[in-house]
């Protein structure tokens, strides 16, 4: 006859094994980078659609956007800083509300704490202070090298990161964002750092990750924010950095074979250095949009790697652009079924942040 203590021990071991097995399921997600700026009805509709598709993560940016951005009914959003160190926390308050909503729908956030392409606009805080040249108001990519190399600009930006991490959310008992593992999957310093320019400082990602790691708690991860393609996303320096948990891969390639090959190459680097990877941006437009999306997702999923599509909004753009509306064919025939399918697939790395609650972020050994 088993004693009560032995039964309890057996039960705990069984539950631990069950949780470990479940944590190896894949997952999908979507960017919706200014979701916090949508009207509440639209915001909740996007979250409901994501839940219906069994998507686990939504990626947002802390950056300014225009009124009715991408033809949505969004409000204009001001960036956190009008000048480095001069903070307007309204955008953080909007994200506080989004966090509460996302939690109710069982969704976590990836938070990009700045957007490289904000540096293309003349009124951006760092552009003004550091005299970064832009290409007029076209918003086309510029050479923002000074932002990544000037020690004072870097110090200013690190203060921005700390301000965000230590912001307190009133919906979560006034706790700091850095510890909200129940709703934050990861922080990344910037979307597509050094995108469409030279990679002028390959230590920049690791140095920023070191700052983030001093504050994040409870298994909140640090991810990289990607590059403009596989090659700029997967620099070996990122895999070697001890402060980075997840290397984010970006691609807009339509060739499924190439996608599979490049993901496999990045996966081999992840094996070598004990990291995890996600394909954090990909997408399609044009008349064959839904079929391209299906092929892209299949190529990523077959490598045992999570995916985050660009991007879901209300409304979408149809064939004209990458935005996917929750009432268009690309949603019904691609993202919705592929999301459900992916979440049921047992393969790949442990993802306890998605499936098993909090952890220390150190699940780097796949398979």
Per-residue pLDDT of the chain (367 residues; tens, 9 = 90+): 444 444 454 444 444 444 445 568 999 999 999 999 999 999 999 999 999 999 999 999 999 988 777 888 878 899 999 999 999 999 999 999 999 999 999 999 999 999 999 999 989 999 999 999 998 777 789 999 999 999 999 999 999 999 999 999 999 999 999 999 999 999 999 999 999 999 999 999 999 999 999 999 999 999 999 999 999 999 999 999 999 999 999 999 999 999 999 999 999 999 999 999 999 999 999 999 999 999 999 999 999 999 999 999 999 999 999 999 998 999 999 999 999 999 978 877 899 999 875 444 444 444 4
Beta strands 276-281; 184-188: pairing state: unpaired
φ/ψ of residue 22, rounded to 5: -65, -35
Q: Give me the pLDDT at residue 8, please.
A: 54
Q: Give me the pLDDT at residue 357, please.
A: 52
Q: Give me the pLDDT at residue 310, please.
A: 98
Beta strands 276-281; 246-250: pairing state: parallel
Locus of tokens 């552009």:
127
Count of other CB atoms within 10 angstroms of residue 215: 18
Q: Give me the pLDDT at residue 294, please.
A: 98
Query: Do 250 and 228 meet the contact criterion of CB atoms below 8 Å apart?
Result: yes
What is the set of domains in the chain, with CATH numbers? 26-355 (3.20.20.80)
Q: Give me the pLDDT at residue 339, please.
A: 97
Query: Do 124 and 80 meet the contact criterion of CB atoms below 8 Å apart?
Result: no
Query: Do 134 and 210 meet the contact criterion of CB atoms below 8 Å apart?
Result: no
pTM for the model? 0.92
Q: Give me the pLDDT at residue 66, please.
A: 82
CA distances, 78 to each of 16, 66, 92, 134, 240 (Å)? 45, 9, 10, 19, 35
Look at residues 52, 55, 59, 53 and name the one whose alpha carbon lies nearest to residue 34. Answer: 59
């Amino acid at each position: 006859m088993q004693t009560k203590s032995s039964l309890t021990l057996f039960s705990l071991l069984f539950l631990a094994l069950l949780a470990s097995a479940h944590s190896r399921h894949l997952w999908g997600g979507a960017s919706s980078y200014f979701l916090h700026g949508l009207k509440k009805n639209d915001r909740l509709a996007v979250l409901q659609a994501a839940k219906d598709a069994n998507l686990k993560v939504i990626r947002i940016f802390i950056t300014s956007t225009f009124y009715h951005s991408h033809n949505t009914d969004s409000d204009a959003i001001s960036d956190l800083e009008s000048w480095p160190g001069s903070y307007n926390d309204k955008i953080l308050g909007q994200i506080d509300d989004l966090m509460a909503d996302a939690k109710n729908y069982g969704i976590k956030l990836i938070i990009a704490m700045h957007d490289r392409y904000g540096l293309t606009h003349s009124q951006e805080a760092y552009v003004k202070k550091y005299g970064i040249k832009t290409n007029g108001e076209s918003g086309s990519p510029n050479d923002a090298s000074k932002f990544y190399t000037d020690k004072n600009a870097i110090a200013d930006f690190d203060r921005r990161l700390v301000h965000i991490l230590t912001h307190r959310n009133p919906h979560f008992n006034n706790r700091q964002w850095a510890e909200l593992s129940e709703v934050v999957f990861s922080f990344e310093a910037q979307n597509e750092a050094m995108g469409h320019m030279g990679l002028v400082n390959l230590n920049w990602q690791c140095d920023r990750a070191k700052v983030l790691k001093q504050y994040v708690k409870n298994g909140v991860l640090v991810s990289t924010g990607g590059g403009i393609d596989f090659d700029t996303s997967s620099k070996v320096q990122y895999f070697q950095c001890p402060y980075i948990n997840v290397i984010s891969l970006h691609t807009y390639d339509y060739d499924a074979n190439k996608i599979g090959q490049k993901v496999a190459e990045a996966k081999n680097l992840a094996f070598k250095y004990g990291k995890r990877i996600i394909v954090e941006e990909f997408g399609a437009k044009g008349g064959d949009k839904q079929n391209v999306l299906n092929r892209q997702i299949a190529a990523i999923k077959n490598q045992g790697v999570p995916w985050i599509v660009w991007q879901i909004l209300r409304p979408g753009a149809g064939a004209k652009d990458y935005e996917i509306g929750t009432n268009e064919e690309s949603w019904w025939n691609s993202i919705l079924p592929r999301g459900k399918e992916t979440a049921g697939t047992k393969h790949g790395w442990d993802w306890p942040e998605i499936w098993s609650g909090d952890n220390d972020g150190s699940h780097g050994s796949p398979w």
